[in-house]
Structure 1
Amino acid sequence: MRLIGLTAVLTFLLDQATKYLVVIHLNLRELLVLDVAPPFLNLRMVWNRGVNFGIGAGDGDLTRWGLTIMAITISGAILWWARKEAFSPLGQLSAGLLVGGALGNAVDRVIYGAVADFLNMSCCGLYNPFSFNVADITIFMGAFGLVLFTGNNKST
């Protein structure tokens, strides 16, 4: 469980630090667009009030607080599951990535009322209209890792 906690804390801190750096320090909240290494890396400010790709985005408080409570509940359920099943180290790392990312996005909803998404990447003539953040990446990696490294798929 120590690895889960350490991974979750480091993931949360990395997510919040990048959001502070980009949204506040670089002032992307007002600039809205900052090309870093086009088209491979651009910063595009989006306030996501829904889930992935803005799905279910309602501006109401019900959506905001419902998604915040859901992130906290899922994080708690994963921690309970990890303790019950005694995850392998890779399972623990995956759980920590997912929990840290989920809590990072939950904090955004509490502070800003929406999740701060800003990373935008395109490549090879394909344009990507969506923005995301570090928490989104770690949530995906953690969920994928839980599928691969828990249950019958345990691996060290």
Structure 2
Amino acid sequence: MTDADQAGPAGAKQPLLWGRFSGLVLIIALIGLVLDQGTKLWLVQGFDLQRNGPVELLPVLDIVLVWNRGISYGLFQQNSDLGRWLLAGLTVVVTIGLWVWSSRCTSRLVALSLALVIGGALGNGVDRLFHGAVVDFVHFHVGTFSWYVFNLADVWIVAGVIGLLYDSFTNGPNSAAK
């Protein structure tokens, strides 16, 4: 792919699977996946969080074990194999779409943001395939307020979405007026 293919005028050929920042996206997504899976593997298998938890790290932060059979915030809980495989399939479809988007992006911030979302989606997708549910373990709470239990993959996804939102507000259609 040439630079003209990637950033050419409207109607110019766009890369489908490999673009300017694809190497960066691949490396960041894989690092995110490995860190996410490594912490989950250690907490579930090595530390045996099921037996040894919960663990209070700070007065507002605990390590607990929650098997999330839904999506973010525990929405759309799936207790059947069909639901599990539908969510796994959705993860694959969304990840492919995000990868194609990343291969066409011309901004390092967008590439990094998409890499984080892809890494997080893959991390939670691996859990769903191997465990039938996503391993969540970080519980933030203050007084009676309790945030949902999450994992590193969720952190990557949220950070990626924040980056995409930031980019959309700073580089949107009205940014030329600045």
TM-score strictly above 0.5: yes
Percentage identity across aligned positions? 35
Partner of 2:40: 19
1:71 CA displacement: 1.2
**In structure 2, which of residues 66, 71, 88 is the aligned counterpart of residue 68 of structure 1?**
88
**What SS does the corresponding residue of 1:118 show, helix, strand or coil?**
strand
**In structure 2, which of residues 5, 16, 28 is the aligned counterpart of residue 7 of structure 1?**
28
1:129 CA displacement: 5.3
**What SS does the corresponding residue of 1:130 show, helix, strand or coil?**
strand
1:150 CA displacement: 5.3
Partner of 1:141: 159
**In structure 2, which of residues 78, 95, 98 is the aligned counterpart of residue 58 of structure 1?**
78
Return the structure number with greater relative CO, CA threshold 8 A, min gap 6: 1
CA contact (8 A) 1:87 1:150 kept: no
Report 1:3-152 matches (<5 A). 3-37=24-58, 39-84=59-104, 86-123=105-142, 125-128=143-146, 130-149=148-167
Instruction: Give CA-to-partner distance per residue, 1:84-140, whole Å, 9 cap, x none.
Output: 3x23111111011000000000000111110000101123x3431521100011111
Change (3 A) 1:145 1:129: closer
Moved over 3 A (4+): none
Partner of 1:153: 171
Cα RMSD after superposing both structures: 2.0
Higher deviation after alignment, 72-81 or 97-106: 72-81
1:152 CA displacement: 7.1
1:40 CA displacement: 2.3
1:53 CA displacement: 2.0
- 5+ residue gaps, structure 1, are none
Counterpart Cα distance in 2 of 1:153 and 1:66: 35
Q: Which amino acid aligns with 2:60?
A: F
Change (3 A) 1:151 1:77: farther
Aligned length, in residue pairs:
152
- 5+ residue gaps, structure 2, are 1-21
1:144 CA displacement: 2.2
